[in-house]
Chains A and B, each alone.
Chain A
Amino acid sequence: MATVASKLYSDDVSLLVLLLDTNPLFWSNRSTTFSQFLSHVLAFLNAVLGLNQLNRVVVIATGYCSCDYIYDSSLTLSGNSESGRTGMPALFGSLLEKLEDFIDKDEELIKEQEHDERIASSLLSGSLSMALCYIQRIFRSGHLHPQPRILCLQGSPDGPEQYVAVMNSIFSAQRLMVPIDSCYIGTQNSAFLQQASYITGGVHHAPKQLDGLFQFLTTIFATDLHTRSFVQLPKPVGVDFRASSVFGQSKLDGASTVSDKKRKAPDS
């Protein structure tokens, strides 16, 4: 029974959980607009789904003070309500709709909050936890499941108050053997993402040019786990392991000097 099942599922079937950064405070002062960013991302998702018929994609929006599931490719049937709109693949009609609803909810939540004096970070820990919960559910659904991985598209800076929660999620992912890839599109370094990718065995990259984001995504982050054993992916020179959290060491802005980063020979 097991061998038959494995034939049904080839080893390059992947489940991609995408964590999308929808922090308005980050997107409000960027040269690249959110729409451009979204178009790259949606095309990328399409490409992933096209790689294998059995691939699945889940999108979770990381807001300022909330997170939510936006899209699940296994649930969405071929579009019905989007046939009227032009240019947009029907596949993502529901995604965008839900995204809009989510942003409205997030706005509501932020109005209720009294003080907003924390760093404009997105709720990474929340979305990581939601992703892991979804993956856990997939694991328990039966023998036949694709190999899951998490892709974190983040631009907001790290929120030190989320350090413990993020580290917990990272270690949970490590135990589940779910790699966390991270694509950082912000200005500063994100120690959280670097550590997440390093610990779980994922890929971290910070592309400089955002208009080529699609190329970055398809070259680096579209490879499934099986393929990664014989494809060389870019590895960071060092991982920033500074205790950047609970006791709030101030981070250096700009690029850290090389000597600050620990040199680690990554596993080839």
Chain B
Amino acid sequence: MSDWQVKYKSSLKDRGTEGILKLREGMLLFVPNDPTSDSKLKVLTPNIKSQKYTKEGSKKPAWLNLSNKQGDSHIFEFQNYQDMHACRALITKALAKCEEEQPKKPAAVLTSAEQLSIADLELRFKRLHKEFVETKVLTEDEFWATRKKLLGKDSIRKSKQQVGLKSMMVSGIKPSTDGRTNRVTFNLTSEIIFQIFAEKPAVRQAFINYVPSKMTEKDFWTKYFRAEYLYSTKNTAVAAAEAAEDEELAVFLKPDEILAQEARQKIRRVDPTLDMEADQGDDYTHLMDHGIQRDGTMDVVEPQNGQFRRSLLQDLNRHAAVVLEGRNIDVDSENTRSVAEALARVKQVSKADGETTKDANQERLARMSRLAEMEDLQAPQNFPLAPLSIKDPRDYFESQQGNVVNEPRGAGTLKRNVHEAYGSLKESILEIRTKGLRDPLIKPEVAFEVFRSLTQTISTAKNIIGKNPRESFLDRLPKSTRDEVLHVGKLKDAMSNSYSQLEAMKESVQSELRHQLSLLVRPMQQALDAAFQHYDADLQRRTAKSARGSAGEANGSV
């Protein structure tokens, strides 16, 4: 609270107006010496964003440049540096003091400020200022400090997105161990507390119940982390023993009752047509060599201590559900209890919303039963039976066989014809009975003809049905017999012999007859040549086939 003689310059070029700079509680006042001038200035201390000053060593005069939050800058030229520094120090102190100030009566201010728009806020704000500051309820500093905090909160809410929960699980927090002593230290922040309360409603409930009636908050958390530690050691026997001793500890070690109840509620409302079989197939965790414990190891547990184990899946699922629900509590407080209560309240509200009335329940059940009909419980539906009408298949056949059947001459004529036919048949029988068999039974020519035709039929049938008509009888014999019959080797020798004999014959004859002889001999030679060629080709073919066959066989066997 002091005054200085300064020159106020709105900008550097300004000549400056002389006046007095007064520093009061929460603001700076500049009153010019000349009462007629209108460059009166009032700068509120909280609005001062920063201050700049000229250095002592420079040739410039002692200037102090205050810039406020609106972006204006006010330059004050002091008479000497000493004044300037003093003023600066005071302003700095005032600014620091502003920041430290705790809000007094925050509730009242909050409710009033939240409801109004900015214009209204300004108005109300001015009124409030008058009300509180004038009546000395609040000091200026405190008032402005509260205001600053409000502004800060508002801006945060408007500008930033809602902060969600961390994905990292609470159980992932590892304590720090002191190598020397036998202590583990857990670090606890409000964030962590919030997460614990959100995920484990039993712990929250226990907190509300026990603190501060039974134990202090520190004790509570100590017990909680002791339980966590026991979990992490996976020593179910010790856990059981400790749970038996300490009732509060047992709360932390047992599975979460509130959660279980919630789950049961949800299960009751599941659609009965849901296919649970498909879900059961996915349950691999109860297989023999499956099941990941929290730290990746696995061991068998005695059944009576089964409740002291938690599975990784349970934790994961719960954490994921909580993260997805999001942070729906705005209470950002150091007070753990208020956080717990706030969470509990939220849960109550959601539960109340979730609960359906009795009528709604009935309606839902009726709808579900209509959707999920069970066939064997339905009443028998007697549909009207359509009589079977089988048509006579003959109608269809006759319609197709138009060209075979004679034109229908009418039933009467047909009947007459039939009668006649039968008559003639009976006559025949009578005839044969009286006359006996024919004599001769068959004419010999006819018999011979029959024989001949039959023989021809049989032989031609054989020829046609045979594979290759050009093949002779010999070809149809198997190779071995054929070779035996033909003695191929001998035959070949004989043939070549005759071939050479022919050649010799040709040589032996005199030259003038040779030509004639060769003409005579040529057909036979040609025949022999052809025979040899054919045989060689056939042999090649057969060997190739057998080679292929054996190769194929080899391939097949591989």
Contact = CB atoms under 8 A, between A and B. Distances in A.
Interface of A: 22, 24-25, 27-28, 33-36, 38-40, 42-43, 64, 85-89, 96, 99-100, 103-104, 106-107, 110-111, 115-119, 157, 160-161, 207, 209, 211-212, 214-216, 219-220, 232-235, 237, 246-251, 253, 265-266
Contact of A220 (B400, B442, B454, B462): B454
A253 B461 contact: no
Contact of B447 (A116, A215, A249): A215
B437 A42 contact: yes
A107 B396 CA distance: 26
B444 to A, nearest CB: 10
Given A116-B415, A215-B442, A248-B396, A99 B429 contact: yes
Contact of B401 (A106, A115, A160): A160
A115 B411 contact: yes
A25 B429 contact: no
B25 interface: no
A235 B466 CA distance: 13
Interface in B92-142: none
Given A38-B429, A88-B437, 11 more contacts: A25-B418, A64-B418, A96-B432, A96-B433, A100-B430, A116-B415, A117-B405, A119-B404, A212-B446, A219-B450, A237-B461
A161 B450 CA distance: 35
Given A117-B398, A118-B394, A251-B404, A235 B429 contact: no
Nearest to B425: A24
A234 B418 CA distance: 36
A78 B431 CA distance: 22
B190 interface: no
The list of the 6 closest CB pairs from A to B, nearest first, reads A87-B436, A248-B400, A24-B421, A28-B421, A34-B428, A35-B428
B405 A119 contact: yes
A203 B402 CA distance: 31
Contacts of A157: 404
B314 to A, nearest CB: 69
Contacts of B458: 232-234
Interface string B78-99: 0000000000000000000000
B397 A160 contact: yes
Find the residue from A110, A215, A253, A265 having the highest chain B CB count within 10 A: A215
A266 B428 contact: no
Contacts of A250: 400-404
B425 A34 contact: yes
Contacts of B441: 39-40, 43, 214
Contacts of B425: 22, 24, 27-28, 34, 103
Interface in B270-289: none
**Interface residue tally of chain B, by bracket?**
35 or more
B450 A39 contact: no
9 contacts: A27-B425, A35-B429, A88-B432, A106-B422, A116-B415, A117-B405, A118-B394, A209-B449, A234-B454
Interface in B364-406: 393-394, 396-405
A232 B461 CA distance: 11
Contacts, number: 157
A64 B438 CA distance: 27
Contacts of A207: 450
Contacts of A265: 465
Contact of B418 (A116, A117, A246): A116
B269 interface: no
Given A87-B436, A88-B437, A89-B437, A211 B446 contact: yes
Interface in B318-342: none
A157 B405 CA distance: 10
A100 B446 contact: no
Nearest to B438: A39
B420 interface: yes
Contact of B433 (A88, A103, A161, A232): A88
B404 A43 contact: no
B408 interface: yes
A111 to B, nearest CB: 8
A25 B433 contact: no
B443 interface: yes
B550 interface: no
A178 B391 CA distance: 35
Interface in B451-469: 451, 454, 457-458, 461-462, 464-465
A118 B333 CA distance: 104
Contacts of B401: 119, 160, 248, 250-251
Given A24-B422, A115-B411, A119-B405, A215 B451 contact: yes
B424 interface: yes
Nearest to B419: A107
B429 A86 contact: no
A250 B450 CA distance: 33
A244 B518 CA distance: 66
Contact of A118 (B398, B402, B432, B437): B398
Contacts of A28: 417, 420-421, 424-425
A22 B425 CA distance: 8
A216 B417 CA distance: 31
B434 interface: yes
B12 interface: no
A237 B464 contact: yes
Given A40-B441, A119-B401, A212 B432 contact: no
A219 B451 contact: yes
A24 B465 contact: no
A218 to B, nearest CB: 9
B426 interface: yes
Nearest to A188: B404
Nearest to A43: B441
A85 B436 CA distance: 8
A149 B328 CA distance: 97
A115 B405 CA distance: 14
A212 B411 contact: no
Nearest to A96: B433
B298 interface: no
Given A24-B421, A216-B450, A117 B433 contact: no
